[in-house]
Amino acid sequence: MIIDTTAVQDMNSFSRLQSLKEVYGIIWMLVPILSLVLGITLGVLVIVWLEREISAGIQQRIGPEYAGPMGILQALADGIKLIFKENLLPSRGDTRLFSIGPSIAVISILLSYSVIPFSSHLVLSDLNIGVFLWIAVSSIAPIGLLMSGYGSNNKYSFLGGLRAAAQSISYEIPLTLCVLSISLLSNSSSTVDIVEAQSKYGLWGWNLWRQPIGFLVFLISSLAECERLPFDLPEAEEELVAGYQTEYSGIKFGLFYVASYLNLLVSSLFVTVLYLGGWNISIPYIFVPGLFEITKVGRVFGTTIGIFITLAKTYLFLFISITTRWTLPRLRMDQLLNLGWKFLLPISLGNLLLTTSSQLLSL
């Protein structure tokens, strides 16, 4: 039997070429994901530094100043310290639930970033149900908190987990109703379509002016979802030591710490996307049409401007959240649940009915 060596070499080279193409495809698929994770990590470090500086200014004291210029590396130093600390496990607790809980809390929030448009050409996944994917995925996080509280074999931790679940259920419903009202106004549930629907009239096209009641309900509900003061009942230190994270140490405690800031950042980004026009320049087109033409000339330049505008609006909302923490006192648990079920739920339902009626009349 005669074997054609040339044909065999061609087949081998073709198979190697296909393997290289597959490897390159996997690498190019991972690049945007890793870039997003890196950007989110930097964003969290900036938020931690901002919160410490703003809280120091409100309380008239000196904030972080030794780790790096103006203390900007303090959050990084804290993270490195937590990585090298010992991970302690409760002797009579459920170690599997205890270990899985923090991971579920972080991963469920990280998945929400996949549908956030940072600019017109910069979104990881533009889905038709983008905003509802965020609500569905973020509702998994309280399960991780409940698992952590139960697995700790500690009554304070378990009460904190139960409070987290009750609080999440109470405020997710009005939050979802506000998002549904925005979807009706924009005729889409895609985050990109919602931003583009607000782009026609600049600042006056924002959903903030068409949905002022929904904006206030969304603002309060998002703060409650992030468990920020005055809604930090699941980890109220005067009552529950530290709530569901009482028994945690080392990197597992760090995961809870990161999850809270990740949730705050994603909520601020969704406020920007749903109500503040996203990446769009907040100036009506008729006033400065030349500025819009400049942003359309270069894709890289336009994307950079869009990212800058999105982050500027996001950090403005973050400033409001941080100042709220150091301004308002903590609510009681009964007050928190009454606010969610007796006030925000009826108001958000009425807002949805008004939005539906106006959309039907405009047909």
Task: Report pLDDT for 63.
Answer: 79
Lowest mean pLDDT among 60-64, 65-69, 296-300, 357-361: 296-300
16 vs 316 pLDDT, higher one? 316
Query: What pTM was computed for the model?
Result: 0.86
- pLDDT category, 92, cuts 50, 70, 90? confident
How confident is the model over 25-44, as pLDDT tens digits?
777 777 777 888 888 888 88
Read out DSSP for 322-334? Answer: HHHHTTSPPPPHH
Show me where the domains of the chain are located.
9-83, 86-354
Amino acid at 281: I
Contacts 24+ apart (CB under 8 A), 134-139: 134/266, 134/270, 135/172, 135/175, 135/176, 135/179, 137/108, 137/109, 137/111, 137/112, 138/108, 138/109, 138/112, 138/172, 138/225, 138/263, 138/266, 139/168, 139/172
SS3 content of the chain, % helix, strand, coil (to 5): 75, 0, 25
pLDDT tops 70 at residue 296: no
Asked if 223 contacts 149 with a C-beta cutoff of 8 angstroms, the reply is no
pLDDT tops 60 at residue 18: yes
Phi, psi of 252 (to 5 degrees): -70, -40
- pLDDT category, 1, cuts 50, 70, 90? very low
How confident is the model over 147-203, as pLDDT tens digits?
888 888 888 888 888 888 888 888 999 999 999 999 998 888 889 899 988 887 778
Q: What percent of the chain is predicted at pLDDT more than 70?
A: 88
Residues 279, 305: Cα–Cα separation, whole Å:
8
Task: Report pLDDT for 86.
Answer: 83
pLDDT tops 60 at residue 303: yes
How confident is the model over 254-291, as pLDDT tens digits?
888 888 888 889 999 999 999 988 888 766 544 555 55
Burial code (b: 16+ CB inside 10 Å, e: under 16) for 81-118 equals ebeeeeeeebeebeeebbebbbebbbebbbbbbbbbbb
Task: Report pLDDT for 57.
Answer: 86
Task: Report pLDDT for 352.
Answer: 93
pLDDT tops 70 at residue 361: yes
How confident is the model over 198-251, as pLDDT tens digits?
887 778 888 999 899 999 999 999 988 888 878 887 776 666 667 788 888 888
Mean pLDDT, the chain, as a whole number? 82
The mean per-residue pLDDT over the stretch 67-86 comes to 84
